[in-house]
Structure 1
Amino acid sequence: MNAIRQPRKITGTTVLICFIGFFGIVATVNAFMIHAAVTTFAGTETSSAYKAGLAYKQEEAAASAQAALNWLIEGRIARTPSGEALLSVGIRDRNRLPVHGIDVSARLAHPLNARLDHDIALARVANGEFRGVTEAAAGQWTLTLEVMQGGDRVYRTKSRVVLK
Structure 2
Amino acid sequence: MNAHRGITMPDHGRMAAQARPATSRQEQRSRRIALTALAAFAAIVFLVNGFMIMTAVQTFTGMAVEGAYERGLTYNQTLEEARAQAKLGWTGEVEFVQAEPAAGKLSFRLQDSAGQPISGAQVEAVMFRPTQQGSDFRVFLTRVGSGLYQVDLDFPAAGLWDAYLAARTDDASYQRRERLLVQ
> What band does the TM-score fall into relative to the shorter chain?
0.5 to 0.7
Is structure 2 residue 84 aligned with structure 1 residue 84?
A: no
Is structure 2 residue 73 aligned with structure 1 residue 58?
A: no
- Aligned-residue Cα RMSD (Å) equals 2.4
User: Using the alignment, how far apart are the partners of 1:138 and 1:93 within structure 2?
Assistant: 33
User: Using the alignment, how far apart are the partners of 1:62 and 1:68 within structure 2?
Assistant: 10
Contact 1:120 1:133 in 2 (8 A): no
Corresponding letter in the other structure for 2:166: E
Corresponding letter in the other structure for 1:98: P
What's 2:17 paired with?
A: none
What's 2:30 paired with?
A: none
* Equivalent residues in 2 for 1:82-161, closer than 5 Å: 84-136=103-155, 137-150=157-170, 154-161=173-180
The runs of 5 or more residues in structure 2 that have no matched partner are 1-53
User: Using the alignment, how far apart are the partners of 2:106 and 2:167 within structure 1?
Assistant: 15
Structure 1 residues 42, 118: closer, same or farther in 2, change over 3 A?
Answer: farther
Contact 2:163 2:179 in 1 (8 A): yes
Corresponding letter in the other structure for 1:58: Q
Q: Deviation at 1:54? A: 2.2
What's 1:28 paired with?
A: none
Structure 1 residues 43, 134: closer, same or farther in 2, change over 3 A?
Answer: farther
- State the identity %: 26
User: Using the alignment, how far apart are the partners of 2:160 and 2:181 within structure 1?
Assistant: 4
Q: What count of residue pairs does the alignment treat as equivalent?
A: 127
Task: State the Cα deviation string for residues 74-107 of structure 1 (Å, max 9, x = none).
Answer: 1111212586221011001111110132111011
Contact 1:72 1:91 in 2 (8 A): yes
User: Using the alignment, how far apart are the partners of 1:74 and 1:125 within structure 2?
Assistant: 15
What's 1:24 paired with?
A: none
Q: TM-score with structure 2 length normalisation?
A: 0.61
Structure of larger gyration radius: 2
Q: Secondary structure at the match of 1:52?
A: helix
Q: Secondary structure at the match of 1:133?
A: strand
Q: Deviation at 1:162? A: 1.0
Higher helix share: 2
